[in-house]
Amino acid sequence: MSAMRIVTTRQQVRALRDEVASRGGRIGFVPTMGALHAGHLSLVERARRSCDTVVASVFVNPLQFGPGEDFERYPRDREGDAARLAAAGADVSWFAEVEDMYAPDHCSYVVQEGPALDLEGAARPTHFRGVLTVVLKLLNVLRPAQLFLGRKDYQQTVVIRRMVRDLDLETEVVVCPTVREPGGLAMSSRNAYLRPDERKRACVLWQAIEATQRAHAEGERDPERLERILRSPLEACPGLTLEYAVVRDGETLQPLRGPVERGVCLVAARLGAARLIDNGLLPAAAPDPVLDPAQWAARLQTDG
Ligand code: AMP
């Protein structure tokens, strides 16, 4: 396989896109904010299976951070990310830059109603506007056949799918399972904000979701009782501030009346310096992949 290419400008990306199109190739796209972990790399590996050219972008998009959020301190590791993407089999890494992506007087945005308004949209009022605007720009420049997203950010997958449908974008959205650490904590670049003791306690998010999935598997169908099962371990966890823990319709994200045959548990909480989100389907899908640290290090040949 030829060496991974690194590009930084939209002009370079357009040239690459035209080159792939001229030989009838299919581009698979994995957008990220960097500080890459095995969850991100699982998307690259999935893209590898159905596309001949895999492009991953790394861009800490200022537009999706609200005032007082962690834009400045968000972890950045360009060299490490390039090495990880190469090891995972990406053909191209697009390290986008703010000056190239946004004109100084940029003033056009994608605003979505419906599923973007509640939950993360309520907690972070300009977040999805920033996400959708940058994703539309990235898609317009690259025009990938397929777009790979992690279920870790469940509401984001719903909101992006909706934009793709509503605005007639010609890309297929592929949602991939959440990759977890052995205790169940969903891998996230923001886990770096957790102290070791907090990292252990953060597993309660997944424990609460699993307890709700178990209750559902055993026949519980009442939405209020399911939400109580979801909330109670979270409310009992010392130092954790719960923002929301709800059971919703998997497509509209609206509250369910019951009996709940299908749905999604969605959780957001603060722990120490981190704001954590997680989710799980009802009924549970195939078990999420768990990566133990040895496997994780082996896959990231750059570790250690
Ligand atoms: P981020 O860099 O956090 O913006 O994430 C970039 C992409 O990776 C998004 O589609 C995320 O949903 C996905 N992602 C993040 N963490 C995980 C994980 N633990 N498992 C699977 N996908 C993930």
pLDDT digits (tens, 9 = 90+) for 178-202: 999 999 999 999 999 999 999 999 9
Q: Is residue 225 part of a domain?
A: yes
Q: Is 46 in the pocket of ligand 1 (CB under 6 A)?
A: no
Q: Is 194 in the pocket of ligand 1 (CB under 6 A)?
A: no
Q: Is residue 32 part of a domain?
A: yes
Q: Does one domain contain both 276 and 141?
A: no
pLDDT over threshold 60, residue 108: yes
Q: How far is the CA of 151 from the centre of ligand 1 (A)?
A: 8
Confidence of residue 285 (pLDDT cuts 50, 70, 90): confident
Which of 176, 209, 238 is at the close of a domain?
Answer: 176
Q: How far is the CA of 23 from the centre of ligand 1 (A)?
A: 30
Which of 118, 146, 176 is at the close of a domain?
Answer: 176
**What was the pLDDT predicted at 302?**
45
Q: Catalytic site residues?
A: 40
Atom of ligand 1 nearest to the CA of 149: 10
Cβ-contact 56, 173 below 8 angstroms? no
* Selection from 177, 181, 239, 243 nearest residue 207 by Cα: 181
Cα–Cα distance list, 294 to 38, 165, 238 (Å): 12, 40, 30
Mean pLDDT value across residues 89-102: 98
Share of the chain above pLDDT 70, in %: 95
Q: Does one domain contain both 25 and 171?
A: yes
Q: Is 181 in the pocket of ligand 1 (CB under 6 A)?
A: no
pLDDT over threshold 80, residue 212: yes
The number of folded domains in the chain is 2
Q: Is residue 299 part of a domain?
A: no
Q: Is 189 in the pocket of ligand 1 (CB under 6 A)?
A: yes
pLDDT over threshold 90, residue 303: no
For 136-190, write each residue's pLDDT tens digit.
999 999 999 999 999 999 999 999 999 999 999 999 999 999 999 999 999 999 9
